[in-house]
Amino acid sequence: MGFLDQIGKTLTQGVDRAKFEAEKFQKTTRLQGEVNEFRHQLDAKLMELGQRAYDLQRAGQISAPSISEMASAVDQLRATVVAKEEELKLSQSEVFIEPMPSSPVPSQSVPIIHEMPTAGPTHTAGTKACAGCGFQMPATAMFCPSCGTRTA
């Protein structure tokens, strides 16, 4: 058997295996879906059966002790669910309220020269902009009240 024949045979086997695996995957996926659907139907029927047994027990038509215990447990769980739903509604309706400060917030003390210097350049009254943040402050301020940058 030649080299090319061997490569062709290997490729054919690979294609056959890939086809088999794809069909197997498709079949198992379909069967898993069917199993899940039947389990869902089974769960629904069991739930319906349980609801009917609960209703009959509450109506006094069934008096089995095990069913009575389960019915009491269901009643307790339902009461808990109702209480938690109310708690949830209250929690969802809560609104944040900004707390009012109990006393005015003390402002930071910023040294300001109140006297005009007698020597050096003359200062004009008014405001000046901070070189660090642009905050408008008194022209005589030594530090910016907003960011703390020392002024010239």
CA distance 134 to 143: 12
- Per-residue pLDDT reduced to its tens digit, 2-39: 889 999 999 999 999 999 999 999 999 999 999 999 99
Domain hosting residue 16, numbered range? 3-92
Can you give the pTM of this predicted structure? 0.44
Distance CA 109, CA 127 (A): 18
Domain count of the fold of the chain = 1
Q: What is the mean pLDDT of each run of 10 residues along the chain (152 residues)?
A: 88 92 92 94 94 92 88 91 92 83 61 51 69 88 88 78
Q: Is residue 59 part of a domain?
A: yes
Looking at residue 57, its amino acid is Q
Is residue 102 assigned to a domain?
no
User: Does a structural domain hold residue 56?
Assistant: yes
- In 3D space, the residue among 68, 49, 66, 50 whose CA is nearest the CA of residue 58 turns out to be 68
